Amino acid sequence: MDTIVFDKTGTITTNKKAKIYHEGQSLSNEDLINIKTVLRGSNHPLSRMLYDYLPELKSVCLTGFEEIAGKGTRATIQGRQVVVVSSGIWRKSRGEDDAANGSSCEH
């Protein structure tokens, strides 16, 4: 063997749990169900941690699930698009600058 490839997302480099917290308006039970349902299909380590963090809730049917490498996940649930991405990706999609918001890496 002359090559070893490591997954840079932290899958094998850490077993620590991330600190997860929510700032902003309270999420409705429907929002929590939709978020957890979308996260259920993700393979990203941070998505898995968030999935495990959220309370056990019923699952709903989704369509059009897509995991976008390095960006996040999205799916449609009852005609509503649900997107789960890092705050940096969200700000960039809205034309905002991370540096102006004092953060470059949030999930």
Query: Distance between CA 37 and CA 58 in Å, rounded?
Result: 9
* pLDDT for position 43: 83
pLDDT tens for 5-58 read 555 555 555 556 667 777 788 889 998 999 999 999 888 888 888 898 899 988
Enumerate residues 6+ apart whose C-beta is below 8 A from 55: 32
Longest dimension (CA), the chain: 52
pLDDT digits (tens, 9 = 90+) for 57-93: 888 898 989 988 778 888 999 898 888 887 777 677 7
Q: What is the pLDDT of residue 76?
A: 92
User: Contact, 76 vs 34, CB < 8 A?
Assistant: no
Q: Which residues contact 89 (CB under 8 A, 6 or more apart)?
A: 71, 72
Decide: 64 and 71 in contact? Cβ < 8 Å.
no
What's the predicted TM-score (pTM) here? 0.68
Higher pLDDT pick, 30 / 2: 30
Percent pLDDT > 90 in the chain is 13
